[in-house]
Amino acid sequence: MLALNNIEVIYNDVILVLKGMSMQVGEGQIVALLGSNGAGKSTTLKAVSGLLKPEDGAVTDGEILFLGQRIDRLDAADIVRRGVFQVMEGRRVFEHLTVEENLRAGAYTQRDARRQTQDLELVYGYFPRLLERRQQTAGYLSGGEQQMLAIGRAMMAHPRLMMLDEPSLGLAPLLVEEIFRIIRRINQEQKTTILLVEQNARLALAVADYAYIMENGRIVLEGAPAQLQENADVREFYLGLTDVGTRKSYRDVKHYKRRKRWLS
Amino acid sequence: MESGIFHTTYQRDMALRHTPAQWVRLALVVAAALAFPFAANNYWLTLANQIGIAAIGAIGLNILVGFTGQISLGQGAFLAVGAYSAGILTKQLGIPWYASTVLACLITAGVGAVFGMPALRLKGLYLAIATLAAQEIIEWGILQWEPITRLTGGVEAMNVPRPTLFGVRMNTDFNFYWVTLLCLALTVILAVNLFRTRTGRAFVAIRDQDIAAEVMGVDLFRYKVLAFAVSSAFVGLAGALTAHYRTIISWERFTLETSILYLAMIIIGGLGSVSGSIYGAAFMTLLPAILQNLGRSLGGTVPNIAQQIPFLQQGVFGLVIILFLVFEPEGIAKMWRNVKDYFRLWPFSY
């Protein structure tokens, strides 16, 4: 469905962020994109949704295909109309609008008013919390509710591909699990393809059908979650487990630090 | 070939100039500035003086707008405060022109601090309107308010005694060039170094994240008022120099239009850049002069166009500014940096 072929992204004409990055997202899948801070995960999402321009970045090489068509030269607004919707990092709800107005704003690309009302019901079905607060100003919601609102807003646009940038940012573990459950349900019931960028590797691997691990602007490892969970490097660096599968003790770190094999 | 700038000590890292090339460039600029008056005629010297004075004012405004992130539409009025206080001190009290210049800086700093007080509560457009009030109040004071108009002369222009130094008349283009140059050099050195100090960092912190700055213990009220005061001191210097250079002060030079012209200077030159302020001042002073000359020579060849030229000039002036903002919103300073980076990093920029 979405294919990135060898893309290269440069900020400000001097900073090379993505160095020949390739990945695929299949129809109906949940694909997780993991990686340390500064690996280029968010940049990848922005390259797909056309948001690089405001930050003085550009895709200088390679191509991004969505449903077989190139989208890397299009405007962000055109890309949304084609069915790619990015839920940005840090929620970014319209804080002076009410919850319901926020959701309706998400349906900007959908002109059919009757369908909009149905969609509202649908979103409230997934997020009953938003129904309770539908007339409240979005700026007064808690962090978790704002994240729900951001995802609900994305659903209103009927995207074929929803890209979530760190939906767990700053949320309590219990709430994170709830949000991930809902993401899974959206994927299964609405048949929305999901590309998920996450720091919480354990949870992301639990919901994903396929996962990529990024480092230094390229994909270093990919595979089905079960496979990755077995990989010694992933266990060490992303799941914090030792060979035996127990939690790691800091005492061991001093003695022996494992090298990331793919960096050599 | 240089592949990057690497520092091994904190002193080196804080230094203003890092490479021999920067020292050479500085030496060339200084040499050119010193040699210029001997090569130039009066017309060019007048322009140079105008640029120098405007640059001092622009650096002052940039400290407030570009570095501290406040906004001021009262630039024209603060220039007026500087000019009139220098003029009045010299004319009425007989204080020598250089002393009245220094005093004018202090007076303007005080006035600026008073009108900067709303900045604690107001931000952005609201602060702009509050400073617009400062502009109007000061203008009204100079023109209408009885106790002050007795000194300023109200609507009528005010004559300032000619500045002399050891019996030499100073306000000729050639002699005043040295005064302007000295003041500009002092301003640049002070401004550049200001941002290496605790106070300067507090200013920049307020610009970037005022709430985070407050959390770290930066007293917002104190530093915002201080920014207004420091900025106004330089603006007052520019005003005082105008008074002594022209020896005639008229309120028409200090209207809201002047405020906006100065804002345009620092935006085109580069917000938050001392050298950018100078480029902006030069650009905004030279562009009308160039357009005027162009218009004059054009008017000679195409007679029908002669009446239209003033309007065309205004139009071209506006157009050039818009083009600048569209293609390099970060100003001339950024363009110059791009040029330097291109050569420094060539052929592999990343």
Tens of pLDDT, residue by residue over B183-210, are: 999 999 999 999 889 999 999 999 998 8
Does B335 touch chain A if contact means CB atoms closer than 8 Å?
Answer: no
The two tokens of residue B301 are: 């060849």
Chain A CB contacts of B4 below 8 Å: none
Minimum Cα–Cα distance from A9: chain B residue? B350
User: How far, in Å, are A81, A93, A228, A235 from residue A111 at the CA level?
Assistant: 12, 21, 43, 47
Chain B CB contacts of A14 below 8 Å: 341, 345, 349-350
CATH topology of domain A2-95+159-225: Rossmann fold (3.40.50)
pLDDT of amino acid A254: 52
What's the pTM value of the predicted model, to 2 decimals?
Answer: 0.82
Asked if residue A47 lies in contact with residue A22, where contact means CB atoms within 8 angstroms, the answer is: no
Q: Is A240 exposed, middle or buried (0-12, 13-18, 19+ CB in 10 A)?
A: exposed
Asked if residue B97 lies in contact with residue B170, where contact means CB atoms within 8 angstroms, the answer is: yes
CB contact under 8 A, A15 and B350: yes
Beta strands (DSSP E) in chain A are 2-11, 15-25, 30-35, 57-66, 69-70, 84-87, 161-165, 193-198, 210-215, 218-223
Percent of chain B with pLDDT over 70: 96
Does A13 touch chain B if contact means CB atoms closer than 8 Å?
Answer: yes
Q: Is the pLDDT of residue B2 over 60?
A: no
Q: How many contacts, defined by CB atoms under 8 Å, are there between A and B?
A: 9
Report the range of poorest mean pLDDT among A208-217, B125-134, B284-293. B284-293
Q: How far is A197 from chain B (nearest CA, A)?
A: 26
Q: Where in chain A is the domain with CATH 3.40.50.300?
A: 2-95+159-225
User: How far, in Å, are B170, B241, B327 from residue A75 at the CA level?
Assistant: 60, 51, 19
Q: Looking at residues B292-316, what average pLDDT do you find?
A: 74
CB contact under 8 A, B341 and A10: no
Minimum Cα–Cα distance from A18: chain B residue? B350
CB contact under 8 A, B349 and A15: no
Q: How far is A216 from chain B (nearest CA, A)?
A: 14
Q: Is the pLDDT of residue B79 over 90?
A: yes
pLDDT of amino acid B161: 81
Rounded CA gap, B108 and B81, in Å? 6
Asked if residue A237 lies in contact with residue A247, where contact means CB atoms within 8 angstroms, the answer is: no
Q: What is the DSSP string of B211-222?
A: HHHHHTT--HHH
C-alpha dihedral (B204, B206, B209, B211), degrees to nearest 10: 160
Chain A CB contacts of B345 below 8 Å: 14
pLDDT of amino acid B3: 61
- Beta strand A161-165 with A69-70: parallel, antiparallel or unpaired? unpaired
Mean per-residue pLDDT over chain B, rounded? 86
Please tell me whether residue A70 adopts helix, strand or coil conformation: strand
Q: How far is A10 from chain B (nearest CA, A)?
A: 9
Q: Looking at residues B92-97, what average pLDDT do you find?
A: 87
Rounded to whole angstroms, the maximal C-alpha distance in chain B is: 68
pLDDT of amino acid B232: 94
pLDDT of amino acid A260: 67
Does A14 touch chain B if contact means CB atoms closer than 8 Å?
Answer: yes
Percent of chain B with pLDDT over 90: 37
Q: Looking at residues B242-250, what average pLDDT do you find?
A: 89
Does A10 touch chain B if contact means CB atoms closer than 8 Å?
Answer: yes
CB contact under 8 A, B345 and A15: no
The two tokens of residue A82 are: 């084609």
Beta bridge partners of A254: none
Q: Is the pLDDT of residue B14 over 90?
A: no
pLDDT of amino acid A151: 93
Chain A CB contacts of B341 below 8 Å: 14
First to last CA, chain A: 33
Give me the numbers of helices (H) and strands (E) for chain A, helices first please: 11, 10
ipTM: 0.70
pLDDT of amino acid B52: 94
Minimum Cα–Cα distance from A10: chain B residue? B350
Beta bridge partners of A58: A10
Rounded CA gap, A230 and B228, in Å? 62
Per the model's pLDDT, the better-predicted residue between B348 and B96 turns out to be B96
pLDDT of amino acid A264: 44
Does A60 touch chain B if contact means CB atoms closer than 8 Å?
Answer: no
What are the per-10-residue average pLDDT scores of chain A (264 residues)?
92 87 92 89 92 88 91 90 90 91 89 86 92 91 91 92 91 90 92 91 90 90 89 78 60 57 58
